[in-house]
């Protein structure tokens, strides 16, 4: 343990160097990023109300895992993005995920049409909670349900 503490301890010159680091904000981007084009292309928003979003998504080949199912990471990404969309405000700093819990209940296959519903559960101070349900449009079978807590510097009411 002493050796670990010794290795991890910052020397005074290292501490000064860290305190002088300047991180500039990202430049605004024109058009979609690779991430947006790859992971989010195909989401169709049908209804937006305060504290509620409803959209659909057809499972594309690019998000299928080797077993032929919608990849777990793609499901987590959909929950993250659609949940975050409830509290994101254009021109404001991006929200930060504090906690996300996902129950994977079933599988979605290539070309399955999914319904994604996101609801605002509440807001206390700078922390908001959302619930996102992903289900098959044809059968109503729930694929996944996620709860998402986000921190935002935005102080106004939602």
Return the CATH number at 38.
Answer: 3.10.129.10
* Averaged pLDDT, 76-80: 92
Instruction: Assess if residue 6 is contained within a domain.
Output: no
* Averaged pLDDT, 13-35: 59
Instruction: Assess if residue 25 is contained within a domain.
Output: no
Instruction: Assess if residue 27 is contained within a domain.
Output: no
**Listed residue (77, 79, 78, 136) closest to 109, CA to CA:** 136
Per-residue pLDDT at 144 exceeds 60: yes
Query: How does residue 86 score in pLDDT terms, banded at 50, 70 and 90?
Result: confident
Domain that holds residue 110: 34-151
Instruction: Assess if residue 146 is contained within a domain.
Output: yes
- Considering its fold, how many domains does the chain have in total? 1
Per-residue pLDDT at 15 exceeds 70: no
Per-residue pLDDT at 97 exceeds 70: yes
Q: Are 53 and 85 in contact (CB under 8 A)?
A: yes
Average pLDDT, the chain: 83
Distance CA 114, CA 136 (A): 5
Per-residue pLDDT at 1 exceeds 90: no
Q: Helix, strand, or coil here: 46?
A: strand
152 burial (CB, 10 Å; 0-12 / 13-18 / 19+) is buried
Instruction: Assess if residue 132 is contained within a domain.
Output: yes
Per-residue pLDDT at 10 exceeds 90: no
- 147, β-bridge pairs: 101, 131
Better pLDDT: 154 or 135:
135
| pLDDT value of position 31 | 60
| pLDDT value of position 69 | 96
Q: Are 146 and 81 in contact (CB under 8 A)?
A: no
Q: Helix, strand, or coil here: 1?
A: coil
Distance CA 145, CA 147 (A): 7
Per-residue pLDDT at 23 exceeds 70: no
Per-residue pLDDT at 157 exceeds 70: no
Better pLDDT: 7 or 47:
47
Per-residue pLDDT at 57 exceeds 90: yes
Per-residue pLDDT at 134 exceeds 90: yes
Q: Are 104 and 39 in contact (CB under 8 A)?
A: no
Q: Which of 3-17, 31-45, 60-74, 125-139 has the lowest mean pLDDT?
A: 3-17
């Amino acid at each position: 343990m002493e050796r670990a503490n010794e290795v991890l301890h910052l020397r005074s010159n290292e501490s000064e160097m860290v305190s002088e680091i300047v991180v500039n904000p990202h430049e605004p981007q024109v058009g979609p990023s690779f991430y947006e084009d790859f992971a989010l292309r195909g989401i169709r928003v049908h209804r937006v109300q305060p504290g509620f979003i409803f959209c659909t998504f057809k499972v594309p080949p690019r998000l299928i895992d080797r077993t032929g199912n919608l990849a777990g990471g793609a499901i987590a990404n959909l929950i993250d993005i659609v949940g975050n969309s409830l509290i994101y405000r254009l021109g404001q700093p991006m929200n930060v995920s504090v906690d996300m819990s996902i129950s994977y209940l079933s599988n979605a296959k290539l070309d399955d049409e999914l319904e994604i519903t996101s609801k605002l559960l509440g807001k206390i101070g700078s922390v908001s909670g959302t619930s996102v349900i992903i289900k098959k449009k044809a059968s109503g079978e729930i694929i996944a349900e996620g709860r998402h807590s986000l921190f935002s510097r935005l102080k106004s009411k939602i």
